[in-house]
Chains A and B, each alone.
Chain A
């Protein structure tokens, strides 16, 4: 391998990218677009669940209960319905996700110390939200129940009682439990995967389509020189996009940045190389720009979006899919990203994912090298 030839390939590729407005557009707009769309669009928080209530009693006690729903950050008490029908209609067409019905004998039963049943209707078409809504509603109700009991005991002359057990939960790494804090760094992985494969998947295929490859492979240049020479400029562009993504994450979305910059650079560099190698390999195999870019998108975008553990926790996937995620390079990168942004652990704690990405890099470049023949057959 001669460095001079490798650099000549790189230089040529840089000039070509800089003159190709489409490639430049991908490089510049893709991070902004994906960061905005995914950063704002993918929101796994269930807050402000819309609640309608049908208060059949309308007493101070029942109003007090409904005020507790209103006070919760998880619920927005949108309206009070005056009949059952209005309530079910609202649930039907999605104007509310939770409907609360307070019975007509609410305060009487409370007063007599009998069991009070509050009916809650939940829109189960989004099971995740439904589960959370039920949980939060039970929380609100049991809070109200304890308060009523304490009041009852105190009024009847008993001692003031304290709750027997309480959990004081403190969330680490993402104190506000905001999904943007782990989604936004994950978007960076998706952006890199898309930009990286799109750019490189075209580069070899384009040369075959335009006929320049035939001339190129008639020269003494080696396959490895072509591959590495072409990787250099795209690596630089990919890392530029990573920096843009990280800056948007920290300064716009205000995601904490607790790790070290070096960890981010090393991890991103490894991941970028894998992605570029993948795009390259696809380009070598298809020799066709359209096919290469489409396969590239499917092979890079979908796995890094769905199987990297960034939107859906890997532990909750079926075993087969979990095993498959080991083949998804983004999986390792997402671990690194979460550490850098949220956990603040150093590169030492990330030896495993870093090693996995390094091995991945070697394999993918070797595969691309093997599939690339200096031949027209």
Chain B
């Protein structure tokens, strides 16, 4: 760890691929035992950031340390202290469960005296006891993913990087996976995870919101939800949603409108008049209001609000 006890420190980090800036001067720190989430849509620079931290990509500018080691100067020292699970499933499909675990225990140099115990732990954790000799490619998504996590942490690294670990996995497996992550975090392991699922982001202790290579906001999920929205958030359920969007957007005091399922979320100024103005405008257009009430913002509301100024298209939102 660094002198000030951070497990990961990123300062003004930049990564360019030719003319394209994938990561644009981002800075943050994470503390030991923290579940730190990088949240953002595809292409926002999350994976690039994680790959730089694992020493797999060179930063174009800025500085980053992991477990106290500089990513440019000592990537090999970092690799001994981290576990990494890449976005794509990356175990050997033509090896069995046990062969994969053995192979990675060799790669990470797990002490011989504890190899059996750690492999047993990995099997247990992945729920693959009794399926040791199944070929890995025949496993279903959730098992593959838990086995990949098991392989990545066989050497008990203090920091674990997970790049979109739950993409393409069924909801039950996702839940199981997050329980595993929570347990490791309780043991003091720093978990660094990227996701574009809003519900998963709620599991993180702290979140960095990324959008088009930039860090848009940083804080606990609660902080992000409370601070991101100026004014209040209204839920509007009505018929003729399409017409309603145009109507309410024209009303003074309505700052932003976003579609959430079959309802609209309106960011409005803290002004009692706004609600009645909305009611009047919709009634004038014979739009029937089913519900109109103030609600607590979700992370998705926070994300929509935080990226409002940067979005090219309002539809460019994030997966539910």
- Chain A residues in contact with chain B, CB under 8 A? 2, 4-5, 7-9, 11-12, 15-16, 19-20, 210-212, 214-221, 374-377
Cα distance A219–B153 when bound, in Å? 11
| 9 tightest Cβ-Cβ pairs between the two chains A and B | A8-B106, A215-B90, A218-B84, A219-B107, A211-B88, A214-B86, A211-B90, A376-B56, A220-B79
Pick the residue among A5, A15, A20, A221 that contacts B99 (CB under 8 A): A15
Of the candidates A5, A12, A214, the one whose C-beta lies within 8 Å of that of B95 is: A12
A interface, by DSSP: helix, strand, loop or mixed? helix
A220–B56 alpha-carbon span in the complex (Å): 12
- The reply to whether B90 and A5 form a contact with Cβ atoms under 8 Å apart is no
Q: Give the complex CA separation of A11 and B107 in angstroms.
A: 12
Contacts of B84 in A (CB 8 A): 215, 218
Contact B95 A16 (CB under 8 A): yes
Interface residues of B in 50-102 (CB under 8 A from A): 51, 54-58, 75-76, 79-80, 82, 84-86, 88-95, 99, 102
Do A16 and B91 touch across chains, with their CB atoms under 8 A apart? no
Q: Are B86 and A374 in contact (CB under 8 A)?
A: no
Verify if B121 is at the interface (C-beta below 8 Å from A).
no
Q: Does B211 contact A (CB under 8 A)?
A: no
Contact of A212 among B54, B90, B108, B109 (CB under 8 A): B90
Interface size, chain B (Cβ < 8 Å): 33
A377 interface neighbour in B58, B82, B93, B95, Cβ under 8 Å: B58
**Complex contact B86–A219 (CB within 8 A):** no
* Contact mask for chain B residues 275-299; partner A; CB cutoff 8 A; 1 contact, 0 none: 0000000000000000000000000
**A214, B106: Cβ atoms under 8 Å?**
no
Q: In whole angstroms, how far apart are the Cα atoms of A377 and B89 in the complex?
A: 20
With a CB–CB cut-off of 8 A, which chain B residues contact A374?
55-56, 75
Task: Identify which of B57, B82, B89, B104 contacts A375 (C-beta below 8 A).
Answer: B57
Given the complex of chains A and B, what is the CA–CA distance between A2 and B104 in angstroms?
Answer: 14
Q: Which residue of B lies closest to A225 (CB)?
A: B107
Choose from B58, B86, B91, B102 the contact partner of A218 (Cβ within 8 Å): B86
List A contacts of B57 (CB < 8 A).
375-377
* Nearest CB on B from A373, distance (A): 10
If A8-B103, A220-B76, A220-B107 are given as contacts, then 10 extra A-B residue pairs at C-beta distance below 8 Å, sorted by A number, are A4-B106, A15-B99, A19-B94, A211-B90, A212-B92, A218-B82, A219-B79, A219-B107, A375-B56, A377-B57
Query: Contact partner of A220 among B85, B89, B108, CB < 8 A?
Result: B108
Closest to B163 in A: A214
